[in-house]
Structure 1
């Protein structure tokens, strides 16, 4: 019996109590079942009786006793105790918990998925940056977290579109073009331009792709360096992200909204809704009506549209694509965008609390030999995504970035996250998966397969702990998706790996040389396979490989 099945049984018992008039109230939408802190309190505990007590007009213990009486008649439940003010401590019947292994193996790659977020249409934007340089370490953290969150949301049943917003309109592209043009001519790059070896490389690629570009008039040459250089840089960004196992469903161009007139249309729409006004020769959006600290300029007095105008048009574009939830994953320097984006949503007639979600990530530092590797996109001393992958590899990089909450400042030591030892979390989890594969191979060599399953034989306390952890996986995935917290998957996998190692050391799959192969050994092969599946499924959610040998 999985936690989800037990939760359903608890709700069924509550419904039976209400129908019989044991107490008043309504059946709650969910009954949370959790592992108790002490194994002496059973396999699972729930506080459902405490939640029902007020509406029932009775004490939690009275409600608990009524629900417990119904639960005790449920197949697979051996014992239900009412503890304290009304907690229900549930002990499963022998073999019931063991059935978890069978359920996991039967579900295979789908184990852990659910419909917790079914029906939600989510647009998930992350990494978005100017196509003026390579993906740097700050973007890389969002790449790992954003892609993992995409996988998690889909596993929880949501329909998700991952999106990269390309800032390809405005002055930064002009500076980029000027930097490339200067580099191609052998002149110093402007002080406010982009620096670094990559500028020399891209400039040379533009010259190769556009023969004669240096003989064109300056204006035409700059436009060629802008358009071709931007595309070359964008192609490079795509390739770097793909190498990091990050793919986007949509690459959205800011400039496309200007070319199509979408920005003007957005301003007109907001004006028609009464939120746009003219003052001092400029066009403003009255965002202070919705909590912003000041009104925002959409069009400057010189007729130039602002980044805020693009942000407003982009929000309306997303909403027009029938997304009911827009998730923005922004860098640590974007706190000021929270109020602005919420004001845009409100001006558009939406409830920001319902349609908008903004996640702000903290900075990440990379340390080697005790020294921080410095980041500065324009000076050319950046640590790029490709540098990061070269230094630590995709698996160590993705796992190490994903195992911490986004709002936690993070310092990664290259030596620590690449160490092949049990104190390195990614190695520890991957080794556990490889160990399950090795155990499976060794068992097959002596004739132990998955042809016999007798769950009531799984009586060792280590088996109880491991099977309970395996049963928790779907709940962990659903919760991680709902809380936008991929790090919960990593921490779960580390706990699972520890439980597996302890189980493996105590519960033999292959008997000793002088002992016969018995059904308990064959049944433990199912537990081993179930653990392999959950480890692999969890690593897949983080975009990390599950090696079969290490």
Structure 2
């Protein structure tokens, strides 16, 4: 059971509790599950009981107990415990946890850069016309939204309507009866920052426009060109380049990626059910939902931040991928290489949607 599958399972438990009259609340749009924090236990934790307590008119512990009684009956869940003021801590069956990771990596490698497409809106959705002001940020955001919408099955004919100062400056596609016309109006780039933005070049300039939320000001400083960890764009592109380098180095050593168990007895970074890969697996499993939300909320910044989460989750895995010293390539090495390749695939696909290059060497 992947994090996305578990999130749906918890959401289904909430819905069944509401239908049975045990809870009187509006069913949330989604439920977040993530590895437990300090004091937690199990494989994943969720704060959904705390979020529902006040609207339900019950204590968080009572809500957690209602949901626990339903979740423990789900195939694939070994145990559910309630800790603190009402945190639900969920333990998966070990065989299911490992199988889900293998299934996730296999799915990403099979799907390639289009992994996560079609998770959200229906292919029967009407065409969308994006009406963007004639301003650099709005035009770039609109261009990216066309690709995000297409990835969710919205008709590829979605176009950007550009508003100029006068009627002669406008290219106005005629909306159909069922078309949705949506204004794309992020906070514009300040006139004083436009020259600095141009000096960043294509990739860094696009990142500077897309990484902040639409309501936040664009920062066009040289920090977007810095080759260091403080620069999110550098972390994302460097992480992708490292995955490509690992594939080349593994080929030189005579082994290839193969989805499987990344654990290895006695390895300092992988003993039992390793925790070092959990953030990465969570981010990869969550990628389809993030793509859908970025399209639905017209927010490409959500995708940019998702790529940073994938890159940051990848770092602990990297030192464990290749054999060290006289160590021979093992099944665990092949599995870690497959997981690294999957992460690189998601990074490349996401950068492509943003219109940014994903270099093999950096």
TM bracket, shorter-chain basis: 0.7 to 0.9
CA offsets per residue over residues 340-377 of structure 1, 9 Å max, x none?
xxxxxxxxxxxxxxxxxxx342333566xxxx84xxxx
Aligned partners of 1:362 and 1:407 also within 8 Å: no
Stretch of structure 1 that moved more, 105-114 or 447-456:
447-456
Task: Report the equivalent of 2:178.
Answer: 322
Give the Cα separation in 1 of the matches to 2:224 and 2:92: 40
Give the Cα separation in 2 of the matches to 1:106 and 1:39: 36
Q: Give unmatched runs, 5+ long, in structure 1.
A: 129-138, 174-229, 235-250, 254-316, 330-358, 374-382
- 2:341 aligns to what SS in structure 1? helix
Q: Shift in Å at residue 442 of structure 1?
A: 1.0
Among 117, 121, 133, the alignment partner of 2:121 is 117
Change (3 A) 1:143 1:360: closer
Among 482, 498, 504, the alignment partner of 2:296 is 482
Aligned pairs for 1:234-253 (under 5 A) are 251-252=171-172
Aligned partners of 1:45 and 1:90 also within 8 Å: yes
1:440 aligns with 2:258: no
TM-score for both structures, normalised by structure 1: 0.55
1:142 aligns with 2:138: yes
Q: Shift in Å at residue 521 of structure 1?
A: 0.9
TM-score for both structures, normalised by structure 2: 0.80
Task: Report the equivalent of 2:224.
Answer: 417
Q: Shift in Å at residue 36 of structure 1?
A: 5.5
Give the Cα separation in 1 of the matches to 2:298 and 2:186: 12
1:23 aligns with 2:22: yes
Task: Report the equivalent of 1:98.
Answer: 101
Q: Shift in Å at residue 326 of structure 1?
A: 1.7
- 1:412 aligns to what SS in structure 2? coil
Q: Give unmatched runs, 5+ long, in structure 2.
A: 265-269
CA offsets per residue over residues 61-104 of structure 1, 9 Å max, x none?
34432432332343443432223454422233431563332332
Give the Cα separation in 2 of the matches to 1:486 and 1:48: 26
Among 294, 317, 325, the alignment partner of 1:513 is 325
1:540 aligns with 2:352: yes
Give the Cα separation in 2 of the matches to 1:486 and 1:156: 14
Give the Cα separation in 2 of the matches to 1:488 and 1:116: 15
Aligned partners of 2:131 and 2:162 also within 8 Å: yes
Give the Cα separation in 2 of the matches to 1:401 and 1:89: 39
Task: Report the equivalent of 2:112.
Answer: 108
Structure number, greater radius of gyration = 1
Aligned partners of 1:395 and 1:545 also within 8 Å: yes
Change (3 A) 1:488 1:17: closer
Task: Report the equivalent of 2:267.
Answer: none
Task: Report the equivalent of 2:361.
Answer: 549
Among 160, 163, 168, the alignment partner of 2:160 is 163
CA offsets per residue over residues 210-256 of structure 1, 9 Å max, x none?
xxxxxxxxxxxxxxxxxxxx8xxx9xxxxxxxxxxxxxxxx437xxx
Change (3 A) 1:162 1:141: same
- 2:277 aligns to what SS in structure 1? helix
Aligned partners of 1:365 and 1:411 also within 8 Å: no
Give the Cα separation in 1 of the matches to 2:328 and 2:186: 58
1:82 aligns with 2:76: no
- 1:124 aligns to what SS in structure 2? strand
- 1:502 aligns to what SS in structure 2? coil
- 2:216 aligns to what SS in structure 1? coil
Task: Report the equivalent of 1:364.
Answer: 190
Q: Shift in Å at residue 517 of structure 1?
A: 1.9
Task: Report the equivalent of 2:34.
Answer: 35
CA RMSD of aligned residues (A): 3.4
- 2:172 aligns to what SS in structure 1? strand
Among 373, 379, 397, the alignment partner of 2:205 is 397
Aligned partners of 2:45 and 2:87 also within 8 Å: yes
- 1:5 aligns to what SS in structure 2? helix
Change (3 A) 1:76 1:40: farther
Aligned pairs for 1:327-406 (under 5 A) are 327-329=182-184, 359-364=185-190, 373=195, 388=198, 391-406=199-214
Aligned pairs for 1:456-535 (under 5 A) are 459-505=273-319, 508-535=320-347
Change (3 A) 1:541 1:499: same
Give the Cα separation in 2 of the matches to 1:154 and 1:120: 11
Give the Cα separation in 2 of the matches to 1:40 and 1:22: 32
Give the Cα separation in 2 of the matches to 1:114 and 1:447: 36
Give the Cα separation in 2 of the matches to 1:58 and 1:70: 17
Give the Cα separation in 2 of the matches to 1:548 and 1:97: 29
